[in-house]
């Protein structure tokens, strides 16, 4: 328990940690959550309006899987909860991992389009195949790239995202909400 308390830096109390552990262990009785258990966990939360039966929620999984080993531990689960509830350095890591599909250390235009399209499909009441919805997604991607991509190379580095989010914390929050 002490290790978990240290992990969450006093942001969650012991009761909250125990409750999250109970929820985590229900989804991952072996103590680790792979993509299959994660899919079941996400679907059990019943938060998405529409999702394809074949959806794996890979972009969300990347946000949890901090060490990129293909498994989510309880510590990683706690870090995700910490990052999404409190605007912290952990949130930067979560957002970056969520968007960086190929894990090359850069977020490109196509990765942004994919993440925002998936999230729009999951929570929205609109048809992501409709031209006006696609245009809105492309406009949002263009705005984010124009604002964050300081070196204008067509992609966002972790450092560019960090600098933008220090100056304008709402950028990180917006990217989290779009994911």
Arch. (CATH architecture) of 104-179: Orthogonal Bundle (1.10)
Q: What residue spans define the domains of the chain? A: 1-86, 104-179
- DSSP label at 108? E
Q: Where residue 172 falls among pLDDT bands split at 50, 70, 90?
A: confident
Per residue in 3-48, pLDDT (tens digit) is 888 888 888 999 999 999 999 999 999 999 999 999 999 989 887 7
Q: Where residue 121 falls among pLDDT bands split at 50, 70, 90?
A: confident
- C-alpha pair distances (Å), 50 with each of 121, 158, 169: 6, 31, 29
Q: Are 41 and 71 in contact (CB under 8 A)?
A: no
C-alpha 82: how far from chain center: 12
pLDDT of 130 strictly over 90: yes
Q: Are 52 and 68 in contact (CB under 8 A)?
A: no
User: Among all chains, which residue has been given the structure tokens 């985590």?
Assistant: 24
pLDDT of 84 strictly over 90: no
Over the chain, what is the mean pLDDT?
91
Q: Are 122 and 109 in contact (CB under 8 A)?
A: no
In the predicted model, what is the mean pLDDT of residues 140-154? 95
Q: Where residue 125 falls among pLDDT bands split at 50, 70, 90?
A: confident
pLDDT of 86 strictly over 80: no
Q: Where residue 124 falls among pLDDT bands split at 50, 70, 90?
A: confident
- C-alpha pair distances (Å), 17 with each of 12, 42, 72, 73: 6, 19, 16, 14
Pick 1-86's CATH classification: 1.10.290.10, 3.40.50.300, 1.10.10.10, 1.10.238.10. 1.10.238.10
pLDDT of 87 strictly over 70: no
- Six-digit token pair at 81? 């909860």
In the predicted model, what is the mean pLDDT of residues 142-156? 95
Distance spanning both ends of the chain, measured CA to CA: 31
Asked whether the domain spanning 104-179 has the same topology as the one spanning 1-86, the reply is yes
């Amino acid at each position: 328990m002490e290790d978990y308390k240290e992990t969450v830096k006093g942001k969650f109390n012991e009761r909250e940690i125990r409750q999250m552990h109970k929820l985590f262990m229900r989804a991952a009785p072996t103590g680790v959550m792979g993509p299959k258990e994660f899919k079941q966990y996400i679907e059990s939360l019943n938060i998405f309006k529409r999702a394809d039966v074949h959806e794996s929620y890979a972009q969300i999984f990347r946000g949890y899987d901090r060490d990129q080993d293909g498994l989510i531990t309880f510590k990683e689960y706690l870090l995700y909860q910490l990052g999404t509830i409190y605007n912290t350095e952990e949130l930067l890591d979560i957002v970056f991992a969520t968007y960086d599909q190929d894990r090359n250390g850069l977020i490109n235009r196509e990765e942004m389009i994919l993440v925002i399209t998936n999230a729009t499909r999951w929570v929205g009441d609109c048809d992501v195949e409709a031209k006006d919805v696609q245009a809105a997604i492309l406009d949002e991607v263009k705005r984010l790239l124009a604002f964050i991509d300081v070196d204008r190379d067509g992609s966002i580095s972790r450092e560019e995202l960090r600098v933008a989010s220090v100056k304008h914390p709402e950028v990180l929050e917006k990217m989290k909400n779009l994911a």
